[in-house]
Structure 1
Amino acid sequence: MTGPTRPVVAARLGWEDEYRRGRWGYLADAVESARYAAIAAHIGPTALVLDVGCGASVLYDVLGGPRRPGAYLGVDWSLAALRSGGWGPGHGVVCGDVNDPPVRGRSDVIVLSEVLYYLDRPMDVVDRLHASLTDHGVLLITLYRPTVDRHPEWARYIDALAAGLLVRFPDMPPAEVVRTGRRTWTLHALPAPGSG
């Protein structure tokens, strides 16, 4: 299954310019902090974290940034985003295709925060990353939940992605709903295969 058809999105090459111009700077604003706090609550201080679609280091900073004792690896399409982040020694970033993250090995926590809608084959990426968790690991997926009246196409597409997760992982715990101001996200925490 390749998943539902997504609405037209900006070309990935356009993200370079958008990051340079500050288009994605709002992700570090206070209104987004509830989403990052909800994600961070699932991540222990020494966990090996793979953050796919890491952008300009917002989650990394929430997790403690350079003072974080656990390993952190961020992957993003945008070199401009990675260059603007506050990455510390001992923690890595890779500029690469988020559809096929150029990393190997296992992680305790893998984060796909507001990333699924930009992937060519989102459920295939979820399957691959889910299989690369450590025995007691967790895959964290956040989905922005736009209102149907303001963004009907996106709302339908994101509903279809959430439904696809339930089909693929019928035993996953219920999604956590995160709200701040007028924004709402769902946080899906998928335990490692065979761990629950």
Structure 2
Amino acid sequence: MNIIDKFHNWRRKLRWNKQYRNGRWDNLRKPIEAERYYTILKFINSHGKVNPSILDLGAGEGVLNEYLDDEMFSYFLGMDFSEVSIEKAKMRKFPKTEFITADIHTFTPSQKFDVIIFNEAFYYVHDSEKQHVLDRMLNHLNDDGILIVSIYREGIGCWEYFEKLQQLDYTIVKTEEEKTYWKIGAYKK
């Protein structure tokens, strides 16, 4: 990223922290989001190994963890750009779970995972960094692991990055609200 992009990225971080502090993202717990989370779980159960290690990129306050039973995974690492959201997630004390604050543009996991989820996060990656971020995450996906991508609405400028991967599953989660839907895909390297 050039210096201007880095500045905008810094400003975005300030905005996200303010929004999480003010409850702007509390809507992620509303019933309208539930089917999206259930679809992510379905993909993990259908295509992932039993008791996987999971990396959730865009974990926020740990909402996905609210849908997971402790027996469903061996280890969970939630990463988000917002320190405020991660502090809220840590206060929840989910078992077998850690949360860290990091910038997806530079974050390098310290281990490999069975499941990596771009949880409403890939479209926030700067266009010049999308392939680098995807490649770095794929390098930290176990050989038999799966990648799950959840993108709100169309995700223009995102889906073409996953075309080279083996698609295991894909669906559109629709809601009663006009223009509120998610596209979710599951992939192997």
1:47 counterpart residue number: 52
Following TM superposition, by how much is the alpha carbon of 1:16 offset from its aligned partner in structure 2, in angstroms?
0.7
Q: Equivalents in 2 of 1:11, 1:79: separation in Å?
A: 12
1:26 counterpart residue number: 27
Bigger shift: 69-78 or 15-24? 69-78
Residue 179 of structure 1: which of 174, 178, 185 is its match? 174
How far does the alpha carbon of each residue in 1:48-83 deviate from its partner, in whole angstroms, 9 at most, with x for none?
00001100010011113x665521011111111012
2:161 counterpart residue number: 164
Q: Kindly indicate which of the two structures has a greater share of residues assigned to strand.
A: 2
Structure 1 residue runs of 5 or longer lacking an equivalent are 1-7, 146-154
Q: Does 2:137 match 1:132?
A: no
Identity of aligned residues (%): 26
Q: Is the 8 A contact 1:48 1:70 kept in 2?
A: yes
Using structure 1 for the length normalisation, give the TM-score.
Answer: 0.78
Q: Is the 8 A contact 2:51 2:71 kept in 1?
A: no
Residue 64 of structure 2: which of 47, 59, 72 is its match? 59
Q: Equivalents in 2 of 1:81, 1:181: separation in Å?
A: 28
1:4 counterpart residue number: none
RMSD after superposition: 2.1
1:99 counterpart residue number: 105
Q: Flag the structure with more relative contact order, 1 or 2, with Cα contacts below 8 A and sequence separation at least 6.
A: 1
Q: Is the 8 A contact 2:119 2:151 kept in 1?
A: yes
Using structure 2 for the length normalisation, give the TM-score.
Answer: 0.81
Q: Kindly indicate which of the two structures has a greater share of residues assigned to helix.
A: 2
Structure 2 residue runs of 5 or longer lacking an equivalent are 1-7
Q: Matches of residues 53-92 of structure 1 in structure 2 within 5 Å?
A: 53-64=58-69, 69-85=73-89, 86-92=92-98
Q: Is the 8 A contact 1:54 1:74 kept in 2?
A: yes
Letter in 2 for 1:87: K
Following TM superposition, by how much is the alpha carbon of 1:174 offset from its aligned partner in structure 2, in angstroms?
5.5
Following TM superposition, by how much is the alpha carbon of 1:102 offset from its aligned partner in structure 2, in angstroms?
4.0
SS in 2 for 1:42: helix
